[in-house]
Structure 1
Amino acid sequence: MEEVKVGEILAPLSGSESRRKEETVRRKFWRTLRKAAGQIPFAEDVVAGFYCALDRDTPPRVRGILLAALAYFVMPIDVVPDFLAGFGFTDDVTVLLAALTSVKAHIRPTHRLAAREALMNVERDAA
Structure 2
Amino acid sequence: MSNANDFRNMSNDELNALGADYAGEFSEQGFWSKVRKVASKVGGKILEPALKLYYAAGDKDTPVWAKSVIIGALGYFISPVDLIPDVIPILGYADDATVIAGAIATVAAHIKEEHTRKAKETCRQWLG
Tell me the TM-score normalised to structure 1 length: 0.73
1:21 Cα deviation from its structure 2 partner? 3.1
2:95 alignment partner, one of 91, 95, 103: 91
Q: Which moved more, 1:30-39 or 1:85-94?
A: 30-39
Unpaired stretches in structure 2, ≥5 consecutive residues: 1-12
Paired AA for residue 92 in structure 1: D
Q: What does the per-residue CA deviation read over 1:25-56, in whole Å, with 9 as the maximum and x for residues that have no partner?
A: 31122332344444362532221111001222
Q: Which moved more, 1:15-24 or 1:72-81?
A: 15-24
For 1:51 and 1:23, how far apart are their aligned partners in 2?
A: 18
2:67 alignment partner, one of 63, 67, 73: 63
The count of aligned residue pairs is 111
Which structure 2 residues correspond to residues 25-40 of structure 1 after superposition, within 5 A? 25-37=27-39, 38-39=41-42
Tell me the TM-score normalised to structure 2 length: 0.72
1:86 Cα deviation from its structure 2 partner? 1.8
For 1:44 and 1:15, how far apart are their aligned partners in 2?
A: 26
Q: Runs ≥4 in structure 1, deviation > 6 angstroms?
A: none
1:123 Cα deviation from its structure 2 partner? 2.7
Q: What does the per-residue CA deviation read over 1:94-127, in whole Å, with 9 as the maximum and x for residues that have no partner?
A: 1111110111111001111111221222235xxx
Unpaired stretches in structure 1, ≥5 consecutive residues: 1-13
